[in-house]
Protein backbone atom coordinates (compact mmCIF):
# COMPACT_ATOMS: atom_id res chain seq x y z
CA UNK A 1 0.00 0.00 0.00
CA UNK A 2 1.47 3.38 -0.90
CA UNK A 3 1.67 5.96 1.82
CA UNK A 4 -0.91 8.28 0.25
CA UNK A 5 -3.60 5.54 0.37
CA UNK A 6 -2.60 4.67 3.88
CA UNK A 7 -2.87 8.24 4.99
CA UNK A 8 -6.25 8.57 3.33
CA UNK A 9 -7.62 5.55 5.22
CA UNK A 10 -6.27 6.75 8.52
CA UNK A 11 -7.58 10.26 8.31
CA UNK A 12 -10.92 9.27 6.81
CA UNK A 13 -14.26 9.68 8.50
CA UNK A 14 -16.62 6.95 7.35
CA UNK A 15 -19.88 8.13 5.80
CA UNK A 16 -21.87 6.45 8.56
CA UNK A 17 -19.80 7.49 11.54
CA UNK A 18 -20.97 10.22 13.91
CA UNK A 19 -18.69 12.21 16.16
CA UNK A 20 -19.48 12.03 19.87
CA UNK A 21 -20.73 15.66 19.76
CA UNK A 22 -22.93 14.98 16.75
CA UNK A 23 -24.41 11.84 18.34
CA UNK A 24 -25.05 13.63 21.60
CA UNK A 25 -26.76 16.64 20.10
CA UNK A 26 -28.88 14.68 17.56
CA UNK A 27 -29.76 12.13 20.24
CA UNK A 28 -30.81 14.67 22.85
CA UNK A 29 -32.93 16.43 20.33
CA UNK A 30 -34.62 13.23 19.23
CA UNK A 31 -35.38 12.22 22.81
CA UNK A 32 -36.91 15.67 23.45
CA UNK A 33 -39.09 15.31 20.38
CA UNK A 34 -40.20 11.82 21.36
CA UNK A 35 -41.09 13.02 24.86
CA UNK A 36 -43.24 15.83 23.42
CA UNK A 37 -44.86 13.40 20.98
CA UNK A 38 -45.76 10.89 23.73
CA UNK A 39 -47.26 13.67 25.78
CA UNK A 40 -49.35 14.86 22.83
CA UNK A 41 -50.84 11.47 21.92
CA UNK A 42 -54.18 11.73 23.77
CA UNK A 43 -54.91 14.98 21.86
CA UNK A 44 -54.15 13.44 18.47
CA UNK A 45 -56.46 11.30 16.31
CA UNK A 46 -55.83 7.57 16.82
CA UNK A 47 -55.27 7.19 13.09
CA UNK A 48 -54.07 9.86 10.66
CA UNK A 49 -56.07 10.52 7.48
CA UNK A 50 -53.53 8.92 5.15
CA UNK A 51 -53.53 6.57 2.18
CA UNK A 52 -50.67 4.85 0.37
CA UNK A 53 -50.88 7.59 -2.26
CA UNK A 54 -50.65 10.54 0.14
CA UNK A 55 -47.79 8.87 2.00
CA UNK A 56 -45.85 8.13 -1.17
CA UNK A 57 -46.31 11.76 -2.14
CA UNK A 58 -45.13 12.97 1.26
CA UNK A 59 -42.02 10.81 1.06
CA UNK A 60 -41.19 11.85 -2.48
CA UNK A 61 -40.36 9.71 -5.47
CA UNK A 62 -36.63 10.34 -5.60
CA UNK A 63 -34.42 7.40 -6.38
CA UNK A 64 -31.77 6.09 -4.01
CA UNK A 65 -29.66 9.05 -2.85
CA UNK A 66 -26.21 9.19 -4.44
CA UNK A 67 -24.84 11.49 -1.78
CA UNK A 68 -25.38 11.36 1.93
CA UNK A 69 -27.16 13.82 4.24
CA UNK A 70 -26.17 14.77 7.81
CA UNK A 71 -27.78 12.53 10.41
CA UNK A 72 -29.38 15.23 12.59
CA UNK A 73 -31.49 16.63 9.74
CA UNK A 74 -32.59 13.14 8.71
CA UNK A 75 -33.65 12.17 12.20
CA UNK A 76 -35.71 15.29 12.53
CA UNK A 77 -37.41 14.60 9.21
CA UNK A 78 -38.06 10.98 10.08
CA UNK A 79 -39.48 11.88 13.48
CA UNK A 80 -41.93 14.31 11.91
CA UNK A 81 -42.90 11.80 9.22
CA UNK A 82 -43.62 9.11 11.80
CA UNK A 83 -45.39 11.30 14.36
CA UNK A 84 -47.79 12.73 11.78
CA UNK A 85 -48.54 9.57 9.80
CA UNK A 86 -48.75 6.66 12.22
CA UNK A 87 -51.53 4.79 13.93
CA UNK A 88 -51.04 5.54 17.64
CA UNK A 89 -51.19 2.32 19.64
CA UNK A 90 -50.37 4.35 22.76
CA UNK A 91 -53.60 6.32 22.38
CA UNK A 92 -55.90 5.64 25.37
CA UNK A 93 -58.73 4.76 22.95
CA UNK A 94 -56.75 2.35 20.79
CA UNK A 95 -58.15 -1.12 21.46
CA UNK A 96 -57.58 -2.80 18.10
CA UNK A 97 -56.36 -6.37 17.46
CA UNK A 98 -54.15 -7.34 20.43
CA UNK A 99 -51.66 -4.58 20.10
CA UNK A 100 -50.26 -3.02 23.21
CA UNK A 101 -49.68 0.60 23.99
CA UNK A 102 -45.96 0.17 24.65
CA UNK A 103 -44.05 1.02 27.82
CA UNK A 104 -41.74 4.02 27.27
CA UNK A 105 -38.86 2.18 28.94
CA UNK A 106 -39.03 -0.26 26.03
CA UNK A 107 -38.19 2.51 23.57
CA UNK A 108 -35.15 3.54 25.58
CA UNK A 109 -34.16 -0.11 26.01
CA UNK A 110 -34.23 -0.63 22.24
CA UNK A 111 -31.93 2.36 21.79
CA UNK A 112 -29.54 0.96 24.36
CA UNK A 113 -29.70 -2.56 22.90
CA UNK A 114 -28.92 -1.29 19.40
CA UNK A 115 -26.07 0.87 20.65
CA UNK A 116 -24.33 -2.13 22.21
CA UNK A 117 -25.59 -4.54 19.50
CA UNK A 118 -24.98 -7.95 21.06
CA UNK A 119 -25.69 -10.91 18.78
CA UNK A 120 -27.69 -13.20 21.06
CA UNK A 121 -27.27 -16.16 18.74
CA UNK A 122 -24.12 -17.15 20.61
CA UNK A 123 -22.96 -16.62 24.20
CA UNK A 124 -19.51 -15.56 23.12
CA UNK A 125 -21.03 -12.71 21.08
CA UNK A 126 -23.44 -11.64 23.80
CA UNK A 127 -22.33 -12.67 27.28
CA UNK A 128 -24.51 -10.40 29.39
CA UNK A 129 -27.34 -10.13 26.85
CA UNK A 130 -27.65 -13.95 26.84
CA UNK A 131 -27.88 -13.96 30.62
CA UNK A 132 -30.47 -11.16 30.56
CA UNK A 133 -32.53 -13.20 28.09
CA UNK A 134 -32.19 -16.32 30.24
CA UNK A 135 -33.40 -14.43 33.30
CA UNK A 136 -36.25 -12.83 31.33
CA UNK A 137 -37.44 -16.26 30.19
CA UNK A 138 -37.34 -17.54 33.78
CA UNK A 139 -39.20 -14.50 35.07
CA UNK A 140 -41.92 -14.91 32.46
CA UNK A 141 -42.23 -18.58 33.51
CA UNK A 142 -42.40 -17.48 37.14
CA UNK A 143 -45.03 -14.86 36.38
CA UNK A 144 -47.36 -17.43 34.81
CA UNK A 145 -46.47 -20.15 37.35
CA UNK A 146 -44.71 -22.37 34.85
CA UNK A 147 -41.67 -24.44 35.94
CA UNK A 148 -38.68 -22.11 36.00
CA UNK A 149 -36.21 -24.75 34.90
CA UNK A 150 -37.96 -24.88 31.54
CA UNK A 151 -36.22 -24.04 28.29
CA UNK A 152 -37.27 -21.11 26.21
CA UNK A 153 -36.29 -18.05 24.30
CA UNK A 154 -37.61 -14.78 23.02
CA UNK A 155 -39.04 -14.74 19.51
CA UNK A 156 -40.32 -12.10 17.15
CA UNK A 157 -43.90 -12.64 18.31
CA UNK A 158 -46.69 -15.09 18.98
CA UNK A 159 -46.56 -16.85 15.65
CA UNK A 160 -42.91 -17.74 16.18
CA UNK A 161 -43.52 -18.50 19.85
CA UNK A 162 -46.07 -21.09 18.70
CA UNK A 163 -43.94 -22.39 15.80
CA UNK A 164 -41.03 -23.25 18.09
CA UNK A 165 -43.08 -25.59 20.35
CA UNK A 166 -44.90 -26.97 17.29
CA UNK A 167 -41.56 -28.09 15.87
CA UNK A 168 -40.35 -29.43 19.21
CA UNK A 169 -43.57 -31.43 19.59
CA UNK A 170 -43.16 -32.85 16.11
CA UNK A 171 -39.58 -33.86 16.83
CA UNK A 172 -40.54 -35.37 20.18
CA UNK A 173 -43.59 -37.33 19.10
CA UNK A 174 -42.84 -38.52 15.58
CA UNK A 175 -41.57 -42.08 15.94
CA UNK A 176 -39.53 -42.35 12.75
CA UNK A 177 -36.42 -40.35 11.76
CA UNK A 178 -38.39 -37.59 10.07
CA UNK A 179 -35.42 -35.20 10.28
CA UNK A 180 -33.85 -37.38 7.57
CA UNK A 181 -36.75 -38.88 5.67
CA UNK A 182 -39.24 -36.08 6.06
CA UNK A 183 -42.84 -36.84 6.88
CA UNK A 184 -43.71 -38.91 3.82
CA UNK A 185 -42.16 -42.05 5.33
CA UNK A 186 -44.63 -42.29 8.19
CA UNK A 187 -48.17 -41.96 9.37
CA UNK A 188 -50.43 -38.97 8.89
CA UNK A 189 -49.84 -36.52 11.75
CA UNK A 190 -52.84 -34.91 13.45
CA UNK A 191 -53.03 -31.65 15.40
CA UNK A 192 -56.04 -30.56 17.46
CA UNK A 193 -57.19 -27.09 18.35
CA UNK A 194 -60.54 -25.43 18.97
CA UNK A 195 -62.32 -23.67 16.14
CA UNK A 196 -61.18 -20.42 17.82
CA UNK A 197 -57.46 -21.17 17.33
CA UNK A 198 -55.41 -18.35 15.82
CA UNK A 199 -54.38 -18.65 12.19
CA UNK A 200 -50.73 -19.43 13.10
CA UNK A 201 -51.77 -23.06 13.09
CA UNK A 202 -52.63 -22.94 9.36
CA UNK A 203 -49.22 -21.51 8.62
CA UNK A 204 -47.44 -24.07 10.81
CA UNK A 205 -49.28 -27.06 9.35
CA UNK A 206 -48.59 -25.88 5.82
CA UNK A 207 -45.03 -24.57 6.17
CA UNK A 208 -43.75 -27.47 8.28
CA UNK A 209 -44.96 -30.04 5.81
CA UNK A 210 -48.01 -31.53 7.52
CA UNK A 211 -50.58 -29.90 5.29
CA UNK A 212 -53.56 -28.01 6.65
CA UNK A 213 -55.70 -31.18 6.48
CA UNK A 214 -53.68 -32.39 9.47
CA UNK A 215 -55.52 -29.87 11.68
CA UNK A 216 -58.66 -31.10 13.43
CA UNK A 217 -60.87 -28.20 14.44
CA UNK A 218 -62.71 -29.06 17.62
CA UNK A 219 -66.05 -27.41 18.30
CA UNK A 220 -66.72 -25.07 21.22
CA UNK A 221 -69.35 -24.55 23.88
CA UNK A 222 -71.40 -21.37 24.17
CA UNK A 223 -68.53 -19.59 25.93
CA UNK A 224 -66.30 -20.49 22.93
CA UNK A 225 -64.22 -22.96 24.97
CA UNK A 226 -63.06 -26.21 23.44
CA UNK A 227 -65.51 -29.11 23.77
CA UNK A 228 -63.30 -31.77 25.36
CA UNK A 229 -65.68 -34.64 24.56
CA UNK A 230 -65.31 -33.67 20.93
CA UNK A 231 -61.52 -33.69 21.38
CA UNK A 232 -61.55 -37.22 22.84
CA UNK A 233 -63.74 -38.49 20.02
CA UNK A 234 -61.58 -37.00 17.26
CA UNK A 235 -58.36 -38.39 18.73
CA UNK A 236 -59.93 -41.83 19.06
CA UNK A 237 -61.24 -41.79 15.52
CA UNK A 238 -57.85 -40.74 14.08
CA UNK A 239 -56.04 -43.44 16.08
CA UNK A 240 -58.40 -46.06 14.74
CA UNK A 241 -57.76 -44.84 11.22
CA UNK A 242 -54.01 -45.43 11.78
CA UNK A 243 -53.01 -41.75 12.01
CA UNK A 244 -50.62 -40.27 14.59
CA UNK A 245 -52.30 -37.69 16.84
CA UNK A 246 -49.39 -35.78 18.38
CA UNK A 247 -50.34 -32.28 19.47
CA UNK A 248 -53.25 -30.49 21.15
CA UNK A 249 -53.31 -26.69 21.29
CA UNK A 250 -55.26 -25.11 24.15
CA UNK A 251 -56.20 -21.44 24.26
CA UNK A 252 -55.25 -19.23 27.19
CA UNK A 253 -57.17 -16.22 25.91
CA UNK A 254 -58.45 -16.77 22.38
CA UNK A 255 -57.70 -14.05 19.90
CA UNK A 256 -61.37 -13.30 19.11
CA UNK A 257 -63.03 -13.17 22.50
CA UNK A 258 -60.42 -13.99 25.16
CA UNK A 259 -61.92 -17.42 25.90
CA UNK A 260 -59.81 -19.77 28.03
CA UNK A 261 -60.11 -23.47 27.18
CA UNK A 262 -60.57 -26.07 29.95
CA UNK A 263 -56.79 -26.41 30.14
CA UNK A 264 -56.60 -28.85 33.05
CA UNK A 265 -59.02 -31.21 31.35
CA UNK A 266 -57.04 -30.98 28.08
CA UNK A 267 -53.83 -31.65 30.03
CA UNK A 268 -55.36 -34.84 31.41
CA UNK A 269 -56.50 -35.99 27.96
CA UNK A 270 -52.98 -35.41 26.58
CA UNK A 271 -51.30 -37.19 29.47
CA UNK A 272 -53.52 -40.23 29.15
CA UNK A 273 -52.91 -40.49 25.42
CA UNK A 274 -49.27 -39.40 25.26
CA UNK A 275 -49.95 -36.28 23.19
CA UNK A 276 -48.01 -33.03 23.42
CA UNK A 277 -50.01 -30.32 25.18
CA UNK A 278 -49.23 -26.82 24.00
CA UNK A 279 -50.92 -23.69 25.37
CA UNK A 280 -51.27 -20.71 23.08
CA UNK A 281 -51.19 -17.98 25.69
CA UNK A 282 -49.85 -15.30 23.35
CA UNK A 283 -52.43 -12.90 24.72
CA UNK A 284 -53.85 -14.31 27.94
CA UNK A 285 -51.24 -16.52 29.63
CA UNK A 286 -49.98 -13.59 31.70
CA UNK A 287 -53.41 -13.33 33.34
CA UNK A 288 -52.29 -16.41 35.29
CA UNK A 289 -50.42 -13.84 37.39
CA UNK A 290 -53.69 -12.51 38.82
CA UNK A 291 -53.93 -13.79 42.39
CA UNK A 292 -56.60 -16.41 43.14
CA UNK A 293 -58.31 -13.82 45.37
CA UNK A 294 -58.79 -11.45 42.41
CA UNK A 295 -62.37 -11.26 41.10
CA UNK A 296 -60.83 -11.50 37.61
CA UNK A 297 -58.79 -14.65 38.23
CA UNK A 298 -59.53 -17.43 35.72
CA UNK A 299 -59.05 -20.79 37.50
CA UNK A 300 -58.52 -22.66 34.21
CA UNK A 301 -55.28 -20.77 33.64
CA UNK A 302 -53.74 -22.97 36.36
CA UNK A 303 -53.66 -25.66 33.65
CA UNK A 304 -50.80 -23.78 31.98
CA UNK A 305 -48.48 -25.29 34.59
CA UNK A 306 -49.24 -28.75 33.16
CA UNK A 307 -48.45 -27.89 29.55
CA UNK A 308 -45.44 -29.26 27.65
CA UNK A 309 -44.99 -25.82 26.13
CA UNK A 310 -46.47 -22.32 26.18
CA UNK A 311 -46.42 -19.29 23.89
CA UNK A 312 -46.51 -15.87 25.56
CA UNK A 313 -46.32 -12.52 23.81
CA UNK A 314 -44.60 -9.78 25.83
CA UNK A 315 -45.57 -7.34 23.07
CA UNK A 316 -49.21 -7.88 24.01
CA UNK A 317 -50.12 -7.84 27.69
CA UNK A 318 -46.63 -7.16 29.02
CA UNK A 319 -46.73 -3.89 27.06
CA UNK A 320 -43.36 -4.35 25.32
CA UNK A 321 -42.89 -2.47 22.08
CA UNK A 322 -42.82 -4.75 19.02
CA UNK A 323 -41.29 -7.25 18.59
CA UNK A 324 -41.25 -9.64 21.54
CA UNK A 325 -42.72 -13.12 21.82
CA UNK A 326 -41.60 -15.89 24.14
CA UNK A 327 -41.67 -19.68 23.75
CA UNK A 328 -41.41 -21.86 26.86
CA UNK A 329 -40.73 -25.61 26.63
CA UNK A 330 -40.85 -27.71 29.77
CA UNK A 331 -38.03 -30.08 28.77
CA UNK A 332 -35.22 -27.87 27.53
CA UNK A 333 -33.25 -30.84 26.13
CA UNK A 334 -35.97 -31.24 23.52
CA UNK A 335 -35.38 -27.69 22.32
CA UNK A 336 -31.74 -28.51 21.65
CA UNK A 337 -32.67 -31.80 20.06
CA UNK A 338 -34.90 -29.94 17.64
CA UNK A 339 -32.79 -26.93 16.76
CA UNK A 340 -29.14 -27.79 17.29
CA UNK A 341 -27.36 -28.34 14.00
CA UNK A 342 -23.67 -27.55 14.29
CA UNK A 343 -21.63 -26.95 11.21
CA UNK A 344 -17.85 -27.44 11.52
CA UNK A 345 -17.18 -23.69 11.42
CA UNK A 346 -19.06 -23.11 14.69
CA UNK A 347 -16.87 -23.88 17.64
CA UNK A 348 -18.06 -22.90 21.09
CA UNK A 349 -16.48 -23.40 24.49
CA UNK A 350 -19.56 -24.28 26.56
CA UNK A 351 -18.16 -24.28 30.07
CA UNK A 352 -19.33 -26.85 32.64
CA UNK A 353 -23.01 -27.39 33.47
CA UNK A 354 -23.13 -25.02 36.45
CA UNK A 355 -21.62 -22.40 34.23
CA UNK A 356 -23.30 -23.38 30.98
CA UNK A 357 -22.99 -21.02 28.05
CA UNK A 358 -26.31 -20.87 26.24
CA UNK A 359 -26.14 -20.40 22.49
CA UNK A 360 -29.65 -19.36 21.58
CA UNK A 361 -29.19 -20.20 17.90
CA UNK A 362 -29.54 -23.81 19.07
CA UNK A 363 -32.88 -23.14 20.79
CA UNK A 364 -34.92 -21.71 17.94
CA UNK A 365 -35.22 -20.82 14.28
CA UNK A 366 -32.96 -17.79 14.15
CA UNK A 367 -29.22 -17.72 13.78
CA UNK A 368 -28.07 -14.14 14.38
CA UNK A 369 -30.45 -12.57 16.85
CA UNK A 370 -30.96 -9.14 18.35
CA UNK A 371 -31.38 -8.20 21.98
CA UNK A 372 -35.17 -8.35 22.36
CA UNK A 373 -34.98 -9.34 25.99
CA UNK A 374 -33.69 -6.01 27.28
CA UNK A 375 -36.97 -4.11 26.88
CA UNK A 376 -38.94 -6.94 28.50
CA UNK A 377 -36.42 -7.40 31.32
CA UNK A 378 -36.43 -3.69 32.16
CA UNK A 379 -40.22 -3.42 32.06
CA UNK A 380 -40.58 -6.44 34.36
CA UNK A 381 -38.22 -4.72 36.78
CA UNK A 382 -39.82 -1.29 36.44
CA UNK A 383 -43.36 -2.53 37.16
CA UNK A 384 -42.66 -5.67 39.16
CA UNK A 385 -45.28 -8.38 39.49
CA UNK A 386 -47.48 -5.97 41.43
CA UNK A 387 -47.35 -3.33 38.73
CA UNK A 388 -48.35 -5.83 36.08
CA UNK A 389 -51.17 -7.29 38.15
CA UNK A 390 -52.46 -3.77 38.73
CA UNK A 391 -52.35 -2.79 35.04
CA UNK A 392 -53.97 -6.03 33.89
CA UNK A 393 -56.67 -5.64 36.53
CA UNK A 394 -57.35 -2.10 35.32
CA UNK A 395 -57.47 -3.21 31.67
CA UNK A 396 -60.05 -5.87 32.54
CA UNK A 397 -61.96 -3.21 34.48
CA UNK A 398 -62.01 -0.91 31.44
CA UNK A 399 -63.20 -3.75 29.18
CA UNK A 400 -65.95 -4.56 31.68
CA UNK A 401 -66.95 -0.91 31.89
CA UNK A 402 -67.38 -0.93 28.12
CA UNK A 403 -69.53 -4.05 28.37
CA UNK A 404 -71.73 -2.45 31.03
CA UNK A 405 -72.03 0.79 29.07
CA UNK A 406 -73.13 -1.21 26.01
CA UNK A 407 -75.58 -3.20 28.09
CA UNK A 408 -77.12 -0.04 29.47
CA UNK A 409 -77.41 1.68 26.08
CA UNK A 410 -80.70 1.21 24.20
CA UNK A 411 -78.94 1.04 20.81
CA UNK A 412 -76.01 -1.20 21.75
CA UNK A 413 -75.87 -4.91 22.35
CA UNK A 414 -73.14 -6.22 24.68
CA UNK A 415 -72.18 -9.70 23.46
CA UNK A 416 -69.09 -11.21 25.12
CA UNK A 417 -66.69 -10.25 27.90
CA UNK A 418 -63.60 -12.27 28.87
CA UNK A 419 -60.18 -11.14 30.13
CA UNK A 420 -59.75 -7.65 28.64
CA UNK A 421 -61.82 -8.30 25.48
CA UNK A 422 -65.37 -7.05 25.08
CA UNK A 423 -67.52 -7.50 21.99
CA UNK A 424 -70.61 -5.48 21.17
CA UNK A 425 -72.59 -4.25 18.22
CA UNK A 426 -74.92 -1.48 17.17
CA UNK A 427 -78.60 -2.45 16.90
CA UNK A 428 -81.06 0.31 15.94
CA UNK A 429 -83.91 0.57 18.43
CA UNK A 430 -86.64 -0.37 15.96
CA UNK A 431 -84.82 -3.57 14.95
CA UNK A 432 -83.99 -4.80 18.43
CA UNK A 433 -87.01 -7.06 18.88
CA UNK A 434 -86.63 -8.59 15.41
CA UNK A 435 -82.83 -8.87 15.32
CA UNK A 436 -82.96 -12.65 14.92
CA UNK A 437 -84.98 -12.55 11.69
CA UNK A 438 -82.85 -13.44 8.67
CA UNK A 439 -83.02 -10.17 6.71
CA UNK A 440 -82.42 -8.10 9.86
CA UNK A 441 -79.53 -10.32 10.97
CA UNK A 442 -77.96 -9.87 7.57
CA UNK A 443 -78.50 -6.13 7.65
CA UNK A 444 -76.99 -5.84 11.15
CA UNK A 445 -73.82 -7.52 9.89
CA UNK A 446 -73.63 -5.09 7.02
CA UNK A 447 -74.40 -2.15 9.28
CA UNK A 448 -71.77 -3.07 11.87
CA UNK A 449 -69.16 -3.60 9.16
CA UNK A 450 -69.92 -0.05 8.06
CA UNK A 451 -69.77 1.19 11.67
CA UNK A 452 -66.34 -0.39 12.10
CA UNK A 453 -65.02 1.15 8.87
CA UNK A 454 -66.26 4.57 9.95
CA UNK A 455 -64.82 4.19 13.46
CA UNK A 456 -61.43 3.17 12.11
CA UNK A 457 -61.37 6.06 9.67
CA UNK A 458 -62.74 8.60 12.13
CA UNK A 459 -59.76 8.63 14.49
CA UNK A 460 -61.79 9.05 17.71
CA UNK A 461 -61.29 5.43 18.80
CA UNK A 462 -59.99 2.26 17.21
CA UNK A 463 -61.70 -1.13 17.50
CA UNK A 464 -61.50 -4.23 15.33
CA UNK A 465 -64.00 -7.05 14.87
CA UNK A 466 -64.91 -10.61 15.80
CA UNK A 467 -67.46 -12.94 14.27
CA UNK A 468 -69.45 -14.97 16.80
CA UNK A 469 -72.32 -17.28 15.72
CA UNK A 470 -72.38 -15.57 12.36
CA UNK A 471 -72.73 -12.11 13.92
CA UNK A 472 -70.26 -9.41 12.94
CA UNK A 473 -69.24 -7.73 16.19
CA UNK A 474 -67.12 -4.77 17.20
CA UNK A 475 -64.31 -5.93 19.44
CA UNK A 476 -62.27 -3.99 21.97
CA UNK A 477 -59.13 -5.56 23.42
CA UNK A 478 -57.68 -3.36 26.15
CA UNK A 479 -53.94 -3.99 26.52
CA UNK A 480 -53.23 -0.37 27.23
CA UNK A 481 -52.27 1.07 30.60
CA UNK A 482 -53.32 4.55 29.50
CA UNK A 483 -57.03 3.68 29.14
CA UNK A 484 -59.62 4.59 31.76
CA UNK A 485 -63.25 3.73 32.46
CA UNK A 486 -64.13 7.23 31.22
CA UNK A 487 -62.63 6.19 27.87
CA UNK A 488 -64.85 3.10 27.92
CA UNK A 489 -67.97 5.20 28.45
CA UNK A 490 -66.91 7.68 25.79
CA UNK A 491 -66.27 4.89 23.28
CA UNK A 492 -69.73 3.39 23.88
CA UNK A 493 -71.26 6.79 23.12
CA UNK A 494 -69.10 7.18 20.00
CA UNK A 495 -70.14 3.74 18.71
CA UNK A 496 -73.80 4.60 19.24
CA UNK A 497 -73.46 7.94 17.42
CA UNK A 498 -71.54 6.45 14.51
CA UNK A 499 -74.04 3.57 14.41
CA UNK A 500 -76.96 5.98 14.15
CA UNK A 501 -75.27 7.89 11.32
CA UNK A 502 -74.36 4.71 9.44
CA UNK A 503 -77.89 3.31 9.84
CA UNK A 504 -79.33 6.49 8.39
CA UNK A 505 -77.00 6.23 5.39
CA UNK A 506 -77.07 2.52 4.56
CA UNK A 507 -80.49 1.17 5.68
CA UNK A 508 -82.39 -0.27 2.67
CA UNK A 509 -85.57 1.71 1.97
CA UNK A 510 -87.78 -1.33 2.41
CA UNK A 511 -87.82 -4.95 3.42
CA UNK A 512 -86.62 -5.06 7.04
CA UNK A 513 -89.83 -4.42 8.94
CA UNK A 514 -91.78 -7.17 10.70
Ligand X SMILES: *Cc1c(COP(=O)(O)O)cnc(C)c1O
How many CA within 13 A on the CB side of residue 466?
27
CB 9 within 8 A of CB 58: no
Which one of residues 170, 190, 198, 216 is an interface residue with ligand X (CB under 6 A)? Answer: 198
Residues numbered 222 to 261 that lie near ligand X (CB under 6 A) are: 255
CB 246 within 8 A of CB 210: no
Q: Does 483 bind ligand X (CB under 6 A)?
A: no
Q: Does 200 bind ligand X (CB under 6 A)?
A: yes
* Nearer to ligand X (CB atom), residue 203 or residue 435: 203
What is the rounded distance in angstroms from the CA atom of residue 175 to the CA atom of residue 77?
57
**DSSP, res 334:** H
Q: Does 166 bind ligand X (CB under 6 A)?
A: no
CB 250 within 8 A of CB 269: no
Q: Does 283 bind ligand X (CB under 6 A)?
A: yes
Sign, Cα dihedral of 213, 218, 220, 225:
negative
Which one of residues 158, 258, 314, 321 is an interface residue with ligand X (CB under 6 A)? Answer: 158
Q: How far is the CB of 2 from ligand X (least distance, A)?
A: 55
* Nearer to ligand X (CB atom), residue 200 or residue 472: 200
Q: Does 313 bind ligand X (CB under 6 A)?
A: yes
Q: How far is the CB of 485 from ligand X (least distance, A)?
A: 24
Q: Does 164 bind ligand X (CB under 6 A)?
A: no
Cross-strand bridge partners of residue 252: 260
Of 280, 370, 373, 366, the residue nearest 328 (C-alpha): 280
Site string for ligand X, 6-45 (x = CB under 6 A): ----------------------------------------
- Provide CB contacts within 8 A for 381, sequence distance 6+: none
Which one of residues 157, 245, 250, 303 is an interface residue with ligand X (CB under 6 A)? Answer: 157
Select the residue whose beta carbon is closest to ligand X and give its number.
Answer: 158
* Nearer to ligand X (CB atom), residue 200 or residue 246: 200
Which one of residues 193, 314, 325, 428 is an interface residue with ligand X (CB under 6 A)? Answer: 325
Q: How far is the CB of 251 from ligand X (least distance, A)?
A: 6
Sign, Cα dihedral of 254, 287, 487, 435:
positive
Long-range CB contacts for residues 21-27, cutoff 8 Å, separation at least 24:
22/70, 22/71, 22/72, 25/72, 26/71, 26/72, 26/75
Residues that bind ligand X (CB under 6 A): 98, 157-159, 162, 198, 200, 255, 280, 282-283, 313, 325
Amino acid sequence: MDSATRQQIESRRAALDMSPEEFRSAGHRLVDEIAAFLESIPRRPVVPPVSPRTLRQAMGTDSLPEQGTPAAALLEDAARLLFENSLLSSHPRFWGYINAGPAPIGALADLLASAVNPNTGGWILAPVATEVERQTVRWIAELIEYPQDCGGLLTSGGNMANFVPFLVAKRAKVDWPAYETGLRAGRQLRVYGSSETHTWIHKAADLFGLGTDAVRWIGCDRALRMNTDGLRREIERDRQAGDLPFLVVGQAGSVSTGAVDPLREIARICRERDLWFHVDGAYGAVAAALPASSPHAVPDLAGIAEADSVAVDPHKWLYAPLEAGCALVRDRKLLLQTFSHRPPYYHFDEGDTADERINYFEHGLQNSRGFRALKVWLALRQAGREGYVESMTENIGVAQALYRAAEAHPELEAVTQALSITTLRYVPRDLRSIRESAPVAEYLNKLNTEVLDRLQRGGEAFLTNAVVDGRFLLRACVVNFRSTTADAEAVAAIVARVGREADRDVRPVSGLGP
